[in-house]
Amino acid sequence: MSKSLQAIRGMNDILPEQTPAWRYLENTLVDLLDGYGYKEIRLPIVEYTELFARGIGEGTDVVDKEMYTFRDRNEESLTLRPEGTAGCVRAVLEHGLSGGGQVQKLWYAGPMFRYEKPQKGRYRQFHQVGVEAFNLPGPDVDAELIVLTWRLWKKLGLADAVTLQLNSLGSSEARAAYRDALVAYLQERFEQLDEDSQRRLTTNPLRILDSKNEATQAVLVGAPTLGDYLDEESRLHFDGVRARLDAAGIRYEINHKLVRGLDYYNRTVFEWVTDKLGAQGTVCAGGRYDGLVSQLGGKATPGVGFAMGVERLVLLLETLELLPAELNRAADVYVCAFGEAAELAALTLVERLRDELPALRLLLNSGGGSFKSQFKKADKSGARYALILGDDELAGRVVGCKPLRDDSEQQSVAWDALAEHLAACQQQA
């Protein structure tokens, strides 16, 4: 017997009962981004592998261990995108969007792919919304991105469930000097490091700061801190970011071990974290990457952005029971029709209502059925009202309108007055 077909491990179907929560989150965020003047860009899922090797950095876990890379029929090495920033920068360069110093404020959404051990909140195909801004070198846009995310948390009811962690990596020169100091410190304590950190000491030593190994964290207690190596310009930039967050009333924690896992970051880096999801605590993260555009072949161009994980945010909203109750309601009104003549009249009536009340969600019964079975489906839909159309209603050119969520009496409403009646019912709801 052949094996039953299943989704690839770590790549999940998003089922109809789950998608309303996704749409709620995405629509809330898109409305917010529109209000801040960010424009959508849609990017390919597959890019040349070189883009990520040059952009993210060889020696990072993402490039070395986690990418889905393959050769096409032309023997070109291609990769399913593991993150969105490198592809967005490639698109900006390819289409000349940042030429002449023009400001670009962009956002994108979609699936990303990393070969990781699947667990709750961490998958091999996961979804992100990313936001990027180019040719804005000052601390004001860094702060704007953080304020934007803070406003999203307020809209979603998550403001008390997340904490902002903030750091500055300084210039590339300052970061290199700090890296040398950290490596020198850790080499003297090499045997005390866990195996993964020993490997990272020669490939990506700053990632050791984020180690979850308790023994390694104990070694890091006396290690040099990034703040001691900041250049003056980066220090002033960071002070500017903090001043704006203070002015907006946004609380934050300085985390000197926050370095992010991708090599392209400099200066400001930040993460919004929660303690409500266990190990997968980061729900949004980003920072400044002023050297990435030139690293990928363009002119030096300031850049800053963030990405947030849709799965984790949906999980957080579900865990804290913050999703609106009406999300799972399939319809506002369910239309029951009994007999072929009533079904034909109901179809005409429903389409007229759609013209007159475009925001009203109308569900017309399909497949016939008895009075009891149709009412059972009406109740299961979550609709507030059922419209009833049978032979008697046809003869009188009326519709029975029965409330489903309270004990109010059924009313007979003339066809010509139905749109007005339903509009009034919606306002009262």
pLDDT tens digits for range 33-71: 999 999 999 999 999 999 998 888 766 778 878 999 999
151 among annotated binding-site residues: no
Give me the pLDDT at residue 263, please.
63
The whole-number average pLDDT for the span 330-350 is: 91
pLDDT band at 192; cut points 50, 70, 90: confident
CA distance 242 to 420: 53
Q: Does domain 330-423 have CATH number 3.20.20.70?
A: no
Q: What percent of the chain has pLDDT over 90?
A: 57
Q: Are residues 226 and 178 in contact, defined by beta-carbon separation less than 8 angstroms?
A: yes
pLDDT digits (tens, 9 = 90+) for 83-105: 999 999 999 999 999 888 899 99
Q: Does 397 have pLDDT greater than 60?
A: yes
84 is in an annotated binding site: yes
Question: Does 207 count as an annotated binding residue?
Answer: no
48 is in an annotated binding site: no
pLDDT exceeds cutoff 60 at 1: no
The correct answer on CATH 1.10.540.10 for the domain covering 19-170+230-319 is no
Q: 37: annotated binding-site residue?
A: no
Predicted confidence (pLDDT) at residue 230 exceeds the cutoff of 90: no
Mean pLDDT score across all residues of the chain: 89
The span from the CA of 293 to the CA of 134, in Å, is: 9
List, for residues 120-137, the tens digit of each pLDDT value: 878 999 999 999 999 999
Most confident region among 156-170, 263-277, 407-421 by mean pLDDT? 156-170
User: Does 132 carry a binding-site annotation?
Assistant: yes
Give me the pLDDT at residue 260, please: 64
Residue ranges per structural domain of the chain: 19-170+230-319, 330-423
Find the helix packing angle between 310-319 and 19-35, rounded to 10°.
110
Q: Token pair of 352, please?
A: 């007229």
Q: Sign (positive/negative) of CA torsion 64, 68, 73, 77?
A: negative
- What's the pLDDT at 333? 92
Q: What share of the chain is helix, strand, coil (3-state, %, to 5)?
A: 45, 20, 35
Distance CA 204, CA 136 (A): 28
Q: Is 232 annotated as a binding residue?
A: no
Average pLDDT (24-34) is 96
Question: What does pTM read for this prediction?
Answer: 0.85
* Distance separating alpha carbons of residues 152 and 145, to the nearest angstrom: 11
In the chain, the percentage of residues whose pLDDT exceeds 70 is 97
Q: Above 80 in pLDDT, residue 206?
A: no
